[in-house]
Amino acid sequence: MNKNPYNGFINIYKEQGFTSMDVCAKLRGILGMRKIGHAGTLDPMAEGVLPVALGRATKDIDRIGNGTKVYRAVMLLGVSTDTQDITGTIIVEKEVPAFSDEEIRAAADSFLGTYMQLTPMYSARKVAGKKLYEYARKGIEVERKKKAVEILSIVIEDISLPRVTFTVTCTKGTYIRTLCSDMGDRLGPGACMEELTRLAVGDIRIDTALKLSDVERLRDEGRIGEVLWIASDCAVALGKFDGAHMGHERIFRKLMTEAQRRRLRTCVIMLDLGDGYIIQRDEVKRELLSMGMDYVIRLRLGKELMAVSADDFLKKMLMDRYGMKVLVAGEDVTFGYKKEGNVHFLEANKEKYGYNFIPVEKLRLKNGEAISSTLIKRIITVGGMEEAEQLLGKPWSVTGTVVHGRHIGTSVLGFPTMNLEMPKELICPPFGVYAVRLSFLDRDGGETETYDGIANLGLKPTVSADDIYKGRIWLETFVFGYEGDAYGREIRVKLLRFIRPEKKFAGIEELREQLLGKDVEEARQFLAVYQEGRRHADEKTLVFSADR
């Protein structure tokens, strides 16, 4: 399945003892994704703001890392080390004179403006393809050129000799431990850096930084989208998008057209109310990313987010956090406290806040009924899988990992089956037997091997009486012609036609006769003529009557 489920930047509070790459590695485990990078290295002894790019945001890292940075440092006078910080080997120790506050401040102020700084040997900067610290660890001193950096401000906060605490604002590439060492040399006794906290990178502040434990909690609550932000100007599509159906696709096509015309990134924001999805959340996100969307962000509409005013949601979230310059949305879009945000609100505020708003009219059938999530849910819940496919633009499906069942199929019925537990977030079609097409998936959710089959959706009334499966909804698929071990593999099962309702049989033999006789025959006849992608609705064709 998709190994990059999140796209955007997240503000991490790097704690002492971790390298910046350690933080990325831990986030890969927490978020279950591969593509993660950081903007601006912090040494293991340092703590504070570490902007981290998730998924497709990694291509925008330079937009973050090039910003000015703010640090709070503690300089220890009289101690010089080979690393220029307290973790290194002490080279020289000198007595510290009783400097006046004015002398300390004057030394600090002498570094204001552009200053030529020599890159420390213990650093990740590369020379001849190798990082400087690799040479340093072997005792090799490499010739380096000084580099111009800019110190925008230095504020002395506390002088308790031999320690001096100060806050510095500087440009990218400034080594604060080198600044401490140079200030110590200018004063005379030398110095090293004892503590370092990064307070800000550009507009990214320490008061909004999250510890790794906070990220775990937000992941479990489904609220990661609330803390992500985007570093590029975007065209944004806003809506529930709980099925990515053909009505939604009309919005997505308009979004991509506007983004291309205005040279903006694309961002789809999914307003998530919880259960009742037509298509699984991760599947919707996968489809959107495969369409070429740059960012897909899910916002769980819990109590906190639903209490946000429409004005704050528009300005502080859509514009400030997600870089919105253009908003594309359906004519029934709502957001903010008591759904104050709507088409009229967006039209009324576009000049005030300087964005473009493009409302998209609903796609309708010839009978005038709008293609909507409500309509499609109604069709699916009565088993109209073929009609639903036309309006979704794809077959309705369930995706998941094959799990062990009771092995009734192999040991009793005489044929193996693949079991998926129905995701609780999904709406559920009628219990019963379906003609299906099953595909094994690669790690990114792409389909590889594909097989026809039949599947039973329901509670297993014939074979599950008092076991652990009772009361749980299962999709159990018999795959035609498949031989092998599928346990633990990711599959997608497309329910193409409803054959019959679920029923309780007198025994296993009667069940076997029904499945391998009538059910398989009807499924094979249907699947022999079925062609996926040839039955979809479009804006000019009436495919079926939606009167229900």
Q: Give the strand pairing for 324-330 and 126-127.
A: unpaired
Task: Quickly count: other Cβ atoms within 10 Å of residue 482's Cβ.
Answer: 17
Distance of CA 327 to the CA centre of its chain: 21
The two three-digit tokens of residue 150, written as one number: 């800019």
Catalytic residue among 43, 60, 85, 294: 43
43 classed as catalytic: yes
- What DSSP letter does each residue of 163-205 carry, written as one string? EEEEEEEE-TT--HHHHHHHHHHHHSS-EEEEEEEEEEETTEE
Reference 478, options 414, 429, 415; nearest CA is 415
Q: Give the strand pairing for 265-272 and 295-300.
A: parallel
CA distance linking residue 280 with residue 405, whole number of Å: 22
If phi over 0 gives left and psi between -120 and 50 gives alpha, with beta otherwise, what is residue 177?
Answer: alpha
CA atoms within 13 A on the CB side of 315: 9
CA distance linking residue 450 with residue 491, whole number of Å: 10
Chain position carrying tokens 């059910």? 519
CA distance linking residue 275 with residue 281, whole number of Å: 10
CA distance linking residue 358 with residue 254, whole number of Å: 9
For the chain, give me the number of helices (H) and strands (E)? 16, 24
SS3 327: strand
Backbone angles phi, psi at 182, to 5 degrees: -70, -40
SS3 198: strand
Q: What is the DSSP letter of 97?
A: P
Backbone angles phi, psi at 30, to 5 degrees: -65, -45
Report which residue type is found at 8: G
Active-site residue set: 43
